[in-house]
Amino acid sequence: MTRPDQLEAKALWNRKGNITDWLGRTDWDDTLGLIPYNSRFRAYRKALHQEMGTPASILKYHDIIDMETHRLVFRILENPEDLVQHIRKSVVQVSDYEPTTKESCIRLGKLGPLS
């Protein structure tokens, strides 16, 4: 690819609207940190704060987080080579997200390496 082609491709990528199109195609358009500041953002932020925005509200999750942390450490000690898979499993269990279809399970597995 020549330099002018690269610049044109970059200009197309940076054009307003491309990032929102990309987010929509990847199902990331509802991620709090990636949505524009608007009424939906404020509603998400308010709901998140009500659910876990204060030390008192997070206390109800303490037992779950504690139990899953112990399970994570046990799995890592048992099989350290699968560290990334153990972390993914822990995140799923703490967030209480259970893949319901084969496709959602595959999407969860294709999140890529954690860094």
> Does the residue 114 lie in any domain?
yes
Host domain of residue 75? 61-115
Q: Give the ranges where 34-101 is alpha helix by DSSP (H).
A: 39-52, 55-58, 62-78, 83-95
Count of the separate structural domains present in the chain:
1
Residue 62 confidence (pLDDT) above 80: yes
Higher-pLDDT residue of 55 and 14 is 55
Task: Give the mean pLDDT of the chain.
Answer: 74
What is the model's pTM?
0.46
> Does the residue 73 lie in any domain?
yes
Token reading at 87: 């972390």
